[in-house]
Amino acid sequence: MVQQPEVPSPSAMEAPPVVEMRKIVKRFPGVLANENVDFDLRKSEIHALLGENGAGKSTLMNVLAGLYRQESGTILVKGRPVNFVSPRDAIQAGIGMIHQHFMLVPTQTVTENILLGLDKPRFRMRLKEYDQVIGDLGDRFGLKVDPSAKIWQLSVGEQQRVELLKMLYRGAEVLIMDEPTAVLAPSEIDGLFATLRSMIAEGKSIIFISHKLQEVTAIADRITVLRKGKVTAGGQPIGEMTRQELARLMVGRDVVFHVDKKQLEPGEIVLSVANIHADNDKGLPALRGVTFDVRAGEVVGLAGVAGNGQNELSQVITGLRRCTEGCVELNGEVICNQGSLYSIERGLAYVPEDRNRVGSSPNLSVTDNVIMKKYRKAPISRGWILDMMTATRFAQELKETYDIIVPKVETPVRLLSGGNLQRVILAREFSGQPKMIVAVQPTRGLDVGAIEGVHRLLLTQRETGAAILLISEELEELFSLSDRVLVIYEGKLMGEVREADLDTVGQMMTGTPLEEIRKGGGKQNV
Ligand SMILES: Nc1ncnc2c1ncn2[C@@H]1O[C@H](COP(=O)(O)OP(=O)(O)O)[C@@H](O)[C@H]1O
Ligand SMILES: [Mg+2]
């Protein structure tokens, strides 16, 4: 778990701002993204910028990082007005931004990427020496990554470390991190936080963009909240604010943190998973004999530290990965190793973790995305012809029902915020009245308002009798939505729990089967 930040020293509190943004206005066609925004950053502080998706956080920081030009307003760095026309100018002034989507060359090494674009024409000849330099820099800030590894070989978390190293190598004093935890597994977040603290200790200043209250209160010294382009809290010390207050400043109304789950008697077995074995992408065993059932009107949660077979399991069930042993049945019919279309046609819905690549087609419209599973059938398809009128009407209806905020259903989904994109996917998946739903990290990266909406939609499906397998790393989410929670460790189930006993679940997540814990012989976790 994350630790509380240390109290900033008095000298840090009194230091003049490293960065000051005054009355920043930035417009996009039809949107006032930043409306007279004031923001200041002090030396050696972590200043959180909090707000829902679309609040204007990235825009404001893109202005500071020299990527966008403001329509009006001024920026001062250490008291001096600056005028950035490109990110290069901002970096020269010591300001570096790590974007949500990384900008690395996959076929090159870590060191090559870090030195890329710098005036060091002959670094390639002395790559080994530079590997050493980058390695040392990494050690200094707790950024563990192999300098000679190629980017494509790295996990997303490691790639983020490369982006940080790149900025540190260029001498950034101010680091802007745009939703850095959105791409990380919970287990990687502590590492990032430790790095941020070590950077503060070396006199750097950090702007931490997030929409997660828990993270912000754990890491930040001060906080600025944006809502619809305007500041609703300006640089308040974090200690003074409660989570409820922050939520209200962010979304403008009270947020419900727990969900109302109706008492339901589970029905017939819908999904039956029996002794499943499967390999991961590297050909190593990822699932080693997994057995469980999910009944109609029941949510079964799957807890586990990332990378313990959760993804492989969801892929075997949805027909995207072959199992080497065992069997998956949907309503008594064998669906494993039959391909995904086969299970879709038998009533399986899939809400994948990767909304942008697997869950949707970014360049296609909302309409195209919601009819994706239906275009082969009437009434949308008539023989060879797609009935676009019917398709549009169908999309309009879903837009209303699922509260998708978008001007027209013809808009490409890549322009939608994370919460709205997720609603498009849920609309598509749930409109077919699925019998079985496999939902993987359905709320990852969403803000509180959108999370609430997704939870409600899942519970509505439960009430209408769907069987749901919920795979999530958020224990709070798992225990509030699920009727029972299975815990997976290294491809095996460690048991099933119904209550949020975190001590027990924690032991199971680190490899102690429930039986052993019950026997009183549970391993002591150090
Ligand atoms: N490049 C762009 N072109 C048009 N509109 C944009 C662009 N970038 C952001 N917007 C709009 O500006 C508003 C603020 O977006 P953004 O700064 O990305 O919010 P946040 O980072 O808080 O989620 C949103 O309404 C968004 O749709
Ligand atoms: Mg953003």
pLDDT reported for residue 526: 35
| Segment among 22-26, 100-104, 218-222 with least mean pLDDT | 100-104
3-state SS, residue 168: helix
Atom of ligand 1 nearest to the CA of 34: 14
With a 6 Å cutoff on the Cβ, whether 96 touches ligand 1 is no
Please give the residue that has the higher pLDDT: either 217 or 382: 217
Tell which one of 25, 27, 31 to mutate to probe ligand 1, the residue whose CB is within 8 A of the most ligand atoms: 31
Mean pLDDT score, 328-356: 91
Please give the residue that has the higher pLDDT: either 238 or 354: 238
Ligand that lies nearest to the alpha carbon of residue 182, given by its number in the listed order: 2
With a 6 Å cutoff on the Cβ, whether 156 touches ligand 1 is no
- Reported as a single tens digit per residue, the pLDDT across 218-238 is 999 999 999 989 999 999 999
Mean pLDDT score, 335-361: 87
CA of residue 135 to ligand 2 center, whole Å:
31
CA of residue 176 to ligand 2 center, whole Å:
12
Tell which one of 39, 59, 230 to mutate to probe ligand 1, the residue whose CB is within 8 A of the most ligand atoms: 59
Ligand that lies nearest to the alpha carbon of residue 59, given by its number in the listed order: 1
Asked if domains 1-6+17-94+173-183+199-255 and 267-347+434-449+456-526 share a fold, the reply is yes
With a 6 Å cutoff on the Cβ, whether 151 touches ligand 1 is no
Angle (deg, nearest 10), helices 186-201 and 156-169? 10
Q: What percent of the chain has pLDDT over 70?
A: 90
Ligand that lies nearest to the alpha carbon of residue 27, given by its number in the listed order: 1
Residue whose CA is at the smallest distance from ligand 1 atom 7: 28
Mean pLDDT score, 405-434: 87
The third-level CATH classification (topology) of the domain covering 1-6+17-94+173-183+199-255 is Rossmann fold (3.40.50)
The third-level CATH classification (topology) of the domain covering 267-347+434-449+456-526 is Rossmann fold (3.40.50)
pLDDT band per the 50, 70, 90 thresholds, residue 124: low
With a 6 Å cutoff on the Cβ, whether 469 touches ligand 1 is no
DSSP category for residue 412: B
CA of residue 164 to ligand 2 center, whole Å:
18
Q: How far is the C-alpha of 509 from the C-alpha of 477, rounded, in Å?
A: 16
With a 6 Å cutoff on the Cβ, whether 58 touches ligand 1 is yes
Residue whose CA is at the smallest distance from ligand 1 atom 12: 33
Is it the case that residue 399 has pLDDT exceeding 50?
A: yes
pTM for the model: 0.59
Are 401 and 342 in contact, with CB atoms under 8 Å apart?
no
Is it the case that residue 103 has pLDDT exceeding 90?
A: no
Please identify every residue whose CB atom is under 5 Å from ligand 2, which is an ion.
Answer: 58
Is it the case that residue 263 has pLDDT exceeding 60?
A: yes
Structural domain spans, the chain: 1-6+17-94+173-183+199-255, 103-172, 267-347+434-449+456-526, 356-433
pLDDT band per the 50, 70, 90 thresholds, residue 1: very low
Q: What percent of the chain has pLDDT over 90?
A: 53
pLDDT reported for residue 221: 96
With a 6 Å cutoff on the Cβ, whether 224 touches ligand 1 is no
With a 6 Å cutoff on the Cβ, whether 28 touches ligand 1 is yes
Q: Where are the alpha helices (DSSP H) in 15-155?
A: 57-64, 87-92, 110-115, 127-141
Phi, psi angles (nearest 5°) of residue 74: -125, 155
pLDDT reported for residue 66: 96
Q: How many CA atoms lie within 13 A of 455 on its CB side?
A: 24
With a 6 Å cutoff on the Cβ, whether 31 touches ligand 1 is yes
Mean pLDDT score, 347-372: 84
Enumerate the β-bridge partners of residue 223: 48, 236
With a 6 Å cutoff on the Cβ, whether 461 touches ligand 1 is no
Q: How far is the C-alpha of 139 from the C-alpha of 323, rounded, in Å?
A: 41
CA of residue 59 to ligand 1 center, whole Å:
6
Residue whose CA is at the smallest distance from ligand 1 atom 16: 56
Atom of ligand 1 nearest to the CA of 62: 17
CA of residue 235 to ligand 2 center, whole Å:
19
Q: How far is the C-alpha of 366 from the C-alpha of 357, rounded, in Å?
A: 15
406: left (phi over 0), alpha (psi -120 to 50) or beta: beta
Are 443 and 455 in contact, with CB atoms under 8 Å apart?
yes
